Amino acid sequence: MWPRSAGSARTSTRVSLACDDFATFGAERLDQRVKLLFPLDDGSFCDLGSGDWHQRWRALPEHRRNPFRTYTVRDIDQRTCRLDIDFVVHAELGEGASGPASRWLAAAGPGSELVVIGPDARSPQSGVGIDWRPRDAGDLLLAGDETAAPAIASILETLPEGRRAHAFIEVPAAADALALDLPQGAAATWLSRQGGEHGCELTPAVTAWLAGHPEVVAAAAAPRGRRQRLAAVDVDARSSGSIPRTAPAVSTPGSRASRPW
């Protein structure tokens, strides 16, 4: 893996993971999520085999279960077999880091290992981990804080043609805004709370947008048969989701054996 800064953001670090299996990684993006398994204190990983990885994980003694967390695919390059993940850097990062992801990130460097559980492009379920399904919506509203920023940014950058989207993203400070490569029709407004409570800038901004687009709100509330335009609001609801438990495990970096579908 290769840690690097995610743009100029203070609270994000982009980590590039390398593995030969990423050549066939499902690359649909949007808000596609993966599971990252972090090493145990002795640096080891449990063998999840193939098939129902989550059941195998639960069957292990608790002290042999690798901790895992859910992350959004920030970018995938199947040609170079690289997968990018944006980690939110919490204030605790460093010697006192308490969470498994924070501890791993604090010590990570080239060659550091973790296990990625994600989709295979060759599978009929190559789109597992995607929750954002706007159907035929034409006007889209997305909102969230810095923890939702990777998913919102990925959705905006891979926005299907013909859609219009505006995102409001609240971050701790102005320096935490990310540089995005947005297609036509997509826009992002970064809001700095500058020490305020979560939502102090986000809630008024979303409320004002809705008040300024009454026709979109009305269309969203109309019976399905009469809908012409729809505003979809996503306020970081994805944290409660999970990848299907029969998803495969793919190891990174390439030196560790992969686990097939």
Q: In what order do the strands lie in the sheet with 33-37?
A: 2-5, 12-18, 82-88, 68-77, 33-37, 114-117, 250-252
Question: Six-digit token pair at 69?
Answer: 């967390």
CA 245 from centroid of its chain's CA atoms: 18
Selection from 100, 107, 129, 113 nearest residue 18 by Cα: 113
Q: Is it true that domain 139-238 has CATH number 3.40.50.170?
A: no
Question: pLDDT above 70 covers what percent of the chain?
Answer: 78
Instruction: Specify whether the CB–CB gap between 157 and 29 falls below 8 A.
Output: yes
Say whether pLDDT at 86 is over 80.
Answer: yes
Indicate where the chain has its CATH 3.40.50.80 domain(s).
139-238
Which residues, at least 6 apart from 223, have a Cβ–Cβ distance to it below 8 Å? none
What was the pLDDT predicted at 240? 28
Question: pLDDT above 90 covers what percent of the chain?
Answer: 49
* 3-state class (DSSP) for residue 250: strand
pTM of this prediction? 0.75
Selection from 112, 68, 121 nearest residue 252 by Cα: 112
Considering 81-85, 129-133, 136-140, 251-255, the range whose residues carry the highest mean pLDDT is 81-85
Compute the distance between CA of residue 139 and CA of residue 151 in angstroms, rounded to an integer.
18
Question: Six-digit token pair at 89?
Answer: 């850097």
* 3-state class (DSSP) for residue 202: helix
What was the pLDDT predicted at 104? 92
Instruction: Specify whether the CB–CB gap between 168 and 148 falls below 8 A.
Output: no
Say whether pLDDT at 233 is over 60.
Answer: no
Say whether pLDDT at 238 is over 50.
Answer: no
CATH code for the domain defined by 2-128+241-252: 2.40.30.10
Run of H or E including 165: strand 164-171
Q: Which tens digit of pLDDT belongs to each residue from 42-70?
A: 999 998 877 788 899 999 999 999 999 99
Compute the distance between CA of residue 261 and CA of residue 246 in angstroms, rounded to an integer.
8
What was the pLDDT predicted at 136? 80
What was the pLDDT predicted at 217? 79
Decide which of 86 and 249 is more confident.
Answer: 86
Considering 4-18, 76-90, 210-224, the range whose residues carry the highest mean pLDDT is 76-90
Question: Six-digit token pair at 146?
Answer: 């810095």
Decide which of 174 and 254 is more confident.
Answer: 174
Indicate where the chain has its CATH 2.40.30.10 domain(s).
2-128+241-252
Say whether pLDDT at 243 is over 50.
Answer: no
